[in-house]
Structure 1
Amino acid sequence: MKRQDRRILRWIGVILALVLFVGWALLWPLNSYIEAPGNASNLRSFVKIKGHPDPGKGSFMITSVALQQARPATYVMAKMVPYLSIEKADDVTGGQSSATFDRVQKFYMQSSINEAIAVAFRQAGRPVHKKYLGIYVLQVQPNSKFKGAIRVGDTITKVNGHHFNTAQGYQKYIGKQKVGTPLAVTYRRNGHEHTTTHRLVRLTSSRSGIGIMLTNNMQVTTKPRVVVDPGQLGGPSGGLMFTLQIYQQISGHDLQRGRKVAGTGTIDADGHVGEIGGIDKKVIAAHRAGATIFFAPYIKPTKLILKYEEGHQTNYQLAKKTAKKYAPGMKVVPVTSFKQAVHYLENTK
């Protein structure tokens, strides 16, 4: 073989190696995810109430975190950008498949929307009817004796023949039973009801349980009817902002007053706001969309948390720290309840 031919083959080999390396760096999936700032979307396009358009000239914005599976190239990039974070796949999905994870997030979102509708209508003095159907099964833990019988997406409607109107009711009843006690669980799947009996497992040193993660499954009826289309968004973190949007429309009270108001936080039946994940990314997303106010959940940490979690930051503390660095001019407002958020908007220019 001539020297020139060997040189050509060598160059071909180098080019192929480079192509393979670039392909690996860009396409090879890693067992981790990258969290980045997502979008801040105007909720006016999500919520429809016949005869009750949004009277505001500003906007309420729901914020999100962009989540994508890491590749070698994006993993290196995430290490270099301070506001990007890398999370283990199991920490993000709980060990579930992508399809199951997406399904669980939709359950969370629907539960959050139902609570938002109920809280908003009550605060507006409008009638609302809640029918508690049971509890969605979001995950069955590996040590659960019900694993294999109960699946993600099932709705538990009774335990030992008892139906409760809150998840706390189920948890309180089950928690009183001893570890190892047989429990008959009635659940609904694909429109059909089934019952299975297995023994309870130990959840903590003092409490027994089925061994599942759950959220509320309820039916909310109002007049007029509220239609909420969350699109591809999932999870419970939009609860507060959905409540504000629905309340503004049903009450006709302009809380926005021309302002772009973003925020995050779960909402419960009593209107309390709960903490969420990824708030630093959501602050950046809100700033990019022009928001000037950002509602951040605040839950005072217990002495136990401060003792065992060094450097603990509340949602509010992390949001404020992020805004100072990446969102100058944005006002981060701590909130513990829906009423507190409304009070701020009514009394602040």
Structure 2
Amino acid sequence: MRSAYWLADRPRVLYGALVLSIVALIAAVSFLIPTPYQMLLPGPVTDTNTLIEPRPEQTQGAFYLTSIYSDPASVAEWLYAQADPEAGLIPREQARPQHLSRQEYRELLDTMMDSSKTAARVVAFRAAGLEVTVGGQGTLIREVQEGSPAEGVVEVGDVVVSTEGQPVRTMDDLIAVIRAHRPGDRLSLEVRRDDATLALAVTLGESPEEQGRARMGVVIATYQLRYSFPRDLKVQSENLGGPSAGLMFALAIYNSLTPGDLTGGHRFAGTGSMATDGRIGAVGGVSYKVRAAEKAGAEYFLVPSDNADEARRAAHAIQVIPVSSFAEALPFIKQLPPVGEQAVASA
């Protein structure tokens, strides 16, 4: 038989259970209600040495690739971001171009990652003293400048495959031919336009920047650019996207190609896009990447010079190293004494 106390207290128990159920329901629903914001958090770090095949031998330190967590914020996540100093919120339109679907944006990030890996390989191989050859299927006309000699002759999308009877495989081939001529010279071109091959001619003008230098007046790129490397080397990038891993990939690739341990036992983290000439470009989300690097125990954070101020504001224990090129980053790393030697020197 139930006690009189339990019977008297039963309404309070039921009321408490009802309140808890309502609170739980509201909490669950809050994860389903979207907001117009994107939540940002420090993401995972990955030692790029582990993503290179063949893997660098006897590496004691690390070259950490840093990332950010970015996802559309629900009401619950929006509330969480108000309480967590490491979390951030930005309008969703700033996180992804609105004319792209999530799938299209994902594909764009994958393409940028592939370009980043290619540039990192080119830079690292050349820094290691290994030859990288460049090839292509012609020179693509990307822009025809208004009022230029090329206006009305070539069109955007044309591919120049020969000039003066000589094959054109890369944009450097066309540039070399133009520079070998003088203003007023007539240059013959063989151009692919859609499914047709056209024989065209353009009278070269004079460069406004340099007297006596011939100018065609187009913005060009190598069509179907490809690189040939003297060694097989693969870079894994599953579940990664965007251009910002270029610098750290290049360091790990260089470490794989050269003898010894480039890290010297140190733990480096960093970010930065990489061009094939070694220039390091600015990227987004640097403050979150700095925090991720500090959590991983990295000692140094290599950052594009244009992002240095943001990195310094976010840093607490880590040392921020601004770099504008691979040629700047590599000497800094090489001049650091290995970790064991540091311990002996300070003993």
The count of aligned residue pairs is 267
Q: Is the 8 A contact 1:83 1:280 kept in 2?
A: no
> Following the alignment from structure 2 to structure 1, what is the Cα–Cα distance between the partners of residues 62 and 107?
29
Bigger shift: residues 229-238 or 84-93: 84-93
Q: Is the 8 A contact 2:45 2:64 kept in 1?
A: yes
1:1-349 map, 5 Å:
17-49=22-54, 53-95=56-98, 96-132=100-136, 159-162=157-160, 165=170, 218-299=225-306, 315-324=307-316, 328=317, 330-349=318-337
> Following the alignment from structure 2 to structure 1, what is the Cα–Cα distance between the partners of residues 114 and 171?
16
> Following the alignment from structure 2 to structure 1, what is the Cα–Cα distance between the partners of residues 130 and 312?
35
Q: Is the 8 A contact 1:114 1:218 kept in 2?
A: no
Q: Is the 8 A contact 1:133 1:219 kept in 2?
A: no
> Following the alignment from structure 1 to structure 2, what is the Cα–Cα distance between the partners of residues 186 and 41?
45
SS at structure 2 position matched to 1:340: helix
> Following the alignment from structure 1 to structure 2, what is the Cα–Cα distance between the partners of residues 242 and 166?
27
Indicate how the Cα distance of structure 1 residues 42 and 134 shifts in structure 2: closer, same or farther if over 3 A, else same.
farther
Indicate how the Cα distance of structure 1 residues 90 and 217 shifts in structure 2: closer, same or farther if over 3 A, else same.
farther
Q: Is the 8 A contact 1:265 1:297 kept in 2?
A: yes
Q: Please, what is the CA RMSD of the aligned residues?
A: 3.7
Q: Is the 8 A contact 1:40 1:63 kept in 2?
A: yes
TM-fit CA distance, 1:129: 2.5
User: Residues 275-296 of structure 1: CA distance to partner in whole angstroms, max 9, x if unpaired?
Assistant: 1001111111111111111101
> Following the alignment from structure 2 to structure 1, what is the Cα–Cα distance between the partners of residues 120 and 86?
30
Q: TM-score, normalised by structure 2?
A: 0.67
SS at structure 2 position matched to 1:31: strand
TM-fit CA distance, 1:316: 0.7
Q: Is the 8 A contact 1:59 1:258 kept in 2?
A: yes
Indicate how the Cα distance of structure 1 residues 345 and 9 shifts in structure 2: closer, same or farther if over 3 A, else same.
closer
Q: TM-score, normalised by structure 1?
A: 0.67
> Following the alignment from structure 1 to structure 2, what is the Cα–Cα distance between the partners of residues 71 and 83?
17
Provide structure 2 residue ranges, at least 5 long, that are not aligned to the other structure.
1-10, 140-155, 162-168, 175-190, 197-217, 338-347
User: Residues 5-39 of structure 1: CA distance to partner in whole angstroms, max 9, x if unpaired?
Assistant: x9999889766643442222122232321110001
SS at structure 2 position matched to 1:61: strand
SS at structure 2 position matched to 1:159: coil
Indicate how the Cα distance of structure 1 residues 78 and 127 shifts in structure 2: closer, same or farther if over 3 A, else same.
same
Q: Is the 8 A contact 1:262 1:291 kept in 2?
A: yes
Q: Is the 8 A contact 1:44 1:54 kept in 2?
A: no
SS at structure 2 position matched to 1:27: coil
Indicate how the Cα distance of structure 1 residues 85 and 91 shifts in structure 2: closer, same or farther if over 3 A, else same.
same
Amino acid at match of 1:53: P
Indicate how the Cα distance of structure 1 residues 220 and 160 shifts in structure 2: closer, same or farther if over 3 A, else same.
closer
Q: Which has the larger radius of gyration?
A: 2
Bigger shift: residues 125-134 or 63-72: 125-134
TM-fit CA distance, 1:55: 4.3
Q: Is the 8 A contact 2:170 2:225 kept in 1?
A: no
Provide structure 1 residue ranges, at least 5 long, that are not aligned to the other structure.
1-5, 136-157, 170-183, 188-192, 195-208, 300-314
Amino acid at match of 1:60: F
User: Residues 103-128 of structure 1: CA distance to partner in whole angstroms, max 9, x if unpaired?
Assistant: 11100000000000011111111122
SS at structure 2 position matched to 1:30: strand
